[in-house]
Amino acid sequence: MKRLLPTLVLSVAVLAPGTTPPALARSAPPPPTVELHDALRPVVAAGAPGAIALVAAGRRTRTAAVGTADLGTGRRMNAHDHVRVGSITKTFVAVVALQLATEHRLHLDDPVGRWLPGVLPYADRITIRQLLNHTSGVPEYFDKLLQHNATQPGAPQLRHWEPRELVGFVAGEPPLFPAGTGWQYSNTNYILVGMIIEKVTHRRLADEVDRRVIDRLRLRDTTFPTDETTLPKPAARGYWDLGPGTAPLDVTEYNPTALGAAAALVSTTDDVARFYRNLLTGHLLPTPQLTQMLTFVDHDGGLGYGLGIARIPTPCGPAIGHDGAVPGFATNAYASPDGRRQVVIAANLFPGRQAQTQEESVSTLFCGSS
């Protein structure tokens, strides 16, 4: 069943060049809850069944939810609903890799072949750092996975995948460019980073993310699932937009091993905001490693990508964080460089027509949260 197969964003979602968010100046500012609802309503009007927003500035946190979490039952969206946060997973995984570098258990400039001999024909010519910042040239595996699943009977979206199988989809292809000479977002990079973490620690990646990040920050609503195809309650259902005049398709349930270290994480807007706040204020990494994480490779006119973290321009300055999109869910999470302000918006539709509107709402709330 091809349209039940998982997909995910293969590039970092960003504000469209030249996009100007609605004016923020008002003679009498509305109550904060009205402001958040105003930013979310266009996301639902653009097609998402429901949406959640969180804005945190200093010690003040505001949340709002609009629309529907479950089209089958009519349950309303709740600000505490769990969602799949997709490629926000990459920042968590990068933190673990940088912690291991701090402990001198690996070096960011180690060749991939040192830890994963033979995984790729050119593994000795790419480094862990180049995987983390997408300058490795390793091709994207996900298109191949989708093509494979389209030929399979039954429910291939529920099948378990080993990381080496995912890398195997592109192991026979040449690199997109010599390592270090270009930039191209590739989920395969993070599948490889996850494999290296497991090789270094002799533990499952999920266990390392739990121990080093989730448990450390007490992110009680965040999980790194392996074969769990359902979401913890309360949860929004996730939907795929099949086009005008057609009801969205429920794609909530699938096996997250197809996403692994690239995009498997499940969380809430509150936990995601807390994660980026603690990361950027130095509670997860020593200053030298955090500085390396925030050393950005510039690409696509003003955009930047560090080690598992992105930088986007907004009308009020740069925002740092990540976007995540997997079947049924799209999440945008950004913070000020000092970590004092966070904005997170999650919607339960992907692919969907609301993506651009959602990005504009993030910019509007980010610039209005100071």
150: Cβ contacts below 8 Å, ≥ 6 apart? 2, 5
Write b or e for each residue in 123-136: b if 16 or more Cβ atoms lie within 10 A of its Cβ, otherwise e: bebbbbbbbbbbbb
Calpha distance 34→25 (Å, rounded): 15
DSSP sequence for 102-144: HTTSS-TTSBHHHHSTTSSTTGGG-BHHHHHTT-S-PPPSHHH
Take residue 94 and report the two structure tokens written for it: 């990068």
Write b or e for each residue in 18-47: b if 16 or more Cβ atoms lie within 10 A of its Cβ, otherwise e: eeebeeeeeeeeeeeeebbbbbbbbbbebb
Take residue 99 and report the two structure tokens written for it: 């912690």
Active-site position among 11, 27, 87, 363: 87
Q: Mutual orientation of helices 32-45 and 355-367 as an angle, nearest 10°? A: 160
C-alpha atoms less than 13 angstroms from C-alpha of 188 in its C-beta half-sphere: 29
Strands 60-70 and 50-57: antiparallel
Calpha distance 237→252 (Å, rounded): 6
Sequence-ordered strand ranges (E) for the chain: 50-57, 60-70, 75-76, 83-84, 239-240, 249-250, 266-267, 297-299, 303-305, 310-312, 319-326, 329-335, 341-347
Contact 102, 285 (CB under 8 A): yes
Q: Is 186 a catalytic residue?
A: no
Written as one letter, the residue type at 157 is Q
Calpha distance 249→348 (Å, rounded): 11
Strands 83-84 and 239-240: unpaired
Catalytic residues: 87
